A and B are shown apart, each in its own frame.
Chain A
Amino acid sequence: MAVQPILELKEIHASYGSIKALKGISLRVYPGEIVAIIGANGAGKSSTLMATCCVLPIDRGEIWYNGQPIHGKAAESLPPTGLCQVPEGRRIFPRLTVDENLRLGAFHRKDKAAVEKDRQHMFSLFPILRDRRKQHGGTLSGGEQQMLAIARALMTRPKLLLLDEPSLGLAPLIVQQIFDIIHDINQKDGTTILLVEQNANLALQAASRGYVLETGTITLEDDAKKLLGNPEIRKAYLGE
């Protein structure tokens, strides 16, 4: 591909104290794609996303975003550049209202009128959030919290959105709704998406390409369709 990747991880290593979580991860995401990372518990999926957002410092390697190296930057400097994450477990601020959680997504933005427009847009995408806007974030159900987490991330106007297990703990109907929205964000807004999932089937159906992560290393990289058809993948991650 001649296009420049929007995100490129080059051989990144990261650790928690003496525990090595990432052992040389390399991956690329191109503009407009949905890319999935699948892998078992503890493989290093969340760590990969946290390293990408400069929350988890890397020991070695390089992270390039939009043609610029970003490793070593302060995590809070990235959302204004359009790099944004919906972290594992949603991390809604439990003692802030739904509306405050939403507004925090746009914390760095100065274009007040556009922020207000986006806020109304979020309320139309997720009507339940409008009804619950004065309620504490911690009182929402899991599905509602996931919607709020996605809406909060969209308030930053992301160019590249990292999603960590958006389906976790949700009923099938809600999961379908969330994935429809992910699809729309990608198709209508042109937002590039890097998606981490336990639910490999779901992730690979939504994505165009996928990476398989095992104990801190990428073991396989292919088109999502091919991964879905790969017997080993079906055996290891699709429970066949």
Chain B
Amino acid sequence: MLYQANPQAEEAMEYFIQQLINGLTLGGLYALIALGYTMVYGVIQLINFAHGEFFAAGGYVGVILLNFFAGRGLMDTHPWLGLFGAFALTMAYCAFLAMAVEKVAYKPLRHQSRLAVLLSALGMSIFLQNALMLTQGVFDKPYPGEKFSGGLVFGDIRISVLQMMIVGLTILLLVGLNLLVFKTRIGMAMRATAQDKVMTSLVAISSNRIISLTFAIGAGLAAAAGIMFGLYYGSVRYDMGFVPGIKAFAAAVLGGIGNITGAMLGGLIIGMVEIFGAGYISGQYKDVFAFIILIAVLYFKPTGIMGENVDDTRV
């Protein structure tokens, strides 16, 4: 050895890397939720205040399915199959839920003022949250995550299997979404619908279908984030959609609402700021950082990081 590492500096470095990994995990979750806000806004200029409830519903449906699979012994024989089965079914469930919400609460108001739809979204949020509370109770519901509790340890840095799974699946979903929106026929129809609905109807594209699909995709991603959240923090609660929902909204605004890459970037930034703020400044204020960013963005650059000038990645 030519040199002796400074043990204090090394510790600080490890702490930093640990925070980086945690920030990436949390930021990925916010990115997944933020996409739903940004895509729906891109296509119908609505801030879907009920979006956080799809995240919460996902958390609950996920735990119900995992418990059900565990009861059948599936989690002992094929834990990964059970886990991914739960993801797939939950995402599908929430996709249908979101399409139903859109049909009932937003579609009839399509030609009314934006305020009317916004209020309907708020109402939907309250309704869904209460439905969850009445059917699932007010207490935390624990998540069965112990199957995936192993992990890698490098010195003081811990990366759990769960964290790797979350980051891996998040990346997969984000890449998949990008391919869908920017490389497929249906994605092209989505982007066209966001730009001019009269013209899309003149080229035989049904905007109703595209709007439905947009809600479904957004809710599916939020539902996946809901399960990951439950697995990561160990439990879910009926009102869990509220705070992460608003933070993800802040992420969408930060990235430039309507912009897909912006939402991903915004989610990552909000997650990082929250983790580093909590780690280096104060854990007590961890929920505040996202809102400080939101206010700063609205004040200094309302169009967000990738707003108007970066057109390429808008819905």
Contacts and interface: CB of A to CB of B under 8 A. Distances in A.
B257 to A, nearest CB: 15
A156 B200 CA distance: 13
Contacts of B2: none
Majority-rule SS of B interface residues:
helix
Contact of A107 (B185, B195, B312): B185
The bracket for how many chain B residues form the interface is 20 to 34
A105 to B, nearest CB: 6
Contacts of B201: 53, 55, 74-76
Given A95-B311, A136-B311, A75 B202 contact: yes
A178 interface: no
A96 B205 contact: no
A117 interface: no
Contacts of A64: none
B1 interface: no
A55 B198 contact: yes
Contacts of A84: 202
A95 B203 contact: no
Contact of B191 (A77, A95, A103, A107): A95
A95 B195 contact: yes
B41 to A, nearest CB: 15
Interface of A: 53, 55, 74-80, 84-85, 87, 91, 93-96, 100, 103-105, 107-108, 136, 152, 156
Interface string B174-210: 0000000000010011011001101111111111000
Contacts of B185: 103, 107
B189 to A, nearest CB: 7
B314 interface: yes
A136 B200 CA distance: 17
Contact of B195 (A76, A77, A96, A105): A96
A104 B314 CA distance: 18
Given A75-B202, A87-B202, 11 more contacts: A77-B204, A93-B192, A94-B195, A95-B191, A95-B195, A103-B185, A104-B188, A104-B200, A105-B203, A107-B205, A156-B204
A107 B204 contact: yes
B204 A80 contact: yes
B191 A96 contact: yes
23 contacts: A55-B202, A74-B206, A76-B201, A76-B205, A77-B204, A78-B204, A79-B203, A84-B202, A87-B198, A91-B198, A91-B202, A95-B312, A96-B188, A96-B195, A100-B188, A103-B185, A103-B188, A104-B189, A104-B205, A107-B205, A136-B311, A156-B203, A156-B204
B100 to A, nearest CB: 21
Interface string B274-314: 00000000000000000000000000000000000001101
A149 to B, nearest CB: 9
Nearest to A152: B203
Nearest to A84: B202
A77 B201 CA distance: 8
Nearest to A138: B311
A96 B315 CA distance: 10
A95 B314 contact: yes
Nearest to B207: A76
A96 to B, nearest CB: 6
For the complex of A and B, the 5 pairs showing the least CB-CB separation, nearest first, are: A75-B201, A108-B204, A79-B204, A91-B199, A76-B201
A16 to B, nearest CB: 12
A94 B311 CA distance: 10
Nearest to A91: B199
B198 A104 contact: no
Contacts of A79: 202-204
A108 B205 CA distance: 8
Contacts of B312: 95
Contacts of B196: 91, 93
Contacts of A87: 198-199, 202
Name which of B191, B195, B206 has the most chain A CB atoms within 10 A of its CB: B195
A107 B189 contact: yes
